[in-house]
Amino acid sequence: MGIEYKIDHARRLVTAKGRGTMTGEDVMNYQREVWSKPEVKGYNELIDMTEVEKIDLPSVKRMKDLAMLSVAMDPPSPSKFAIVAPKDEAFGLGRMYETYRRLESGSTKEVGVFRTMDEAVEFLGLSP
């Protein structure tokens, strides 16, 4: 999988890191694997795309599919999701995902896409 993750129960946070080539299948598998765990419902999320060299998506529609799957898995309580995407391709796709989620009425995660880790950490209200 092109995405590694850790669950920090004390901080109620899932952190993930993409590396190398990340595929649409990697992202969908990550979403299903992590967010189907009952113990992380309502946790905040931070994904770091800094080390992603290539994003291999069969189509842009995959972003909409991911957003719809994500919203369907959202718990009733609100949480935040920060995406660190310093490279233009990842930043643009992150913004697209953010927009698709906002358009879905059942979304309970506030998504932010940032160029730096500091901005993402501030958005999540975490100490550095």
- Which tokens go with 46? 């931070």
Q: What is the pLDDT of residues 40-81, one digit of tens each?
A: 999 999 999 999 999 998 777 888 999 999 999 998 889 999
| 3-124 is a CATH 3.30.750 domain | yes
- Which tokens go with 36? 């189907």
Q: What is the pLDDT of residues 22-51, one digit of tens each?
A: 998 999 999 999 999 999 999 999 999 999
Q: Residue 85: exposed, middle, or buried by beta-carbon count in 10 A (0-12, 13-18, 19+)?
A: buried
Show me where the domains of the chain are located: 3-124
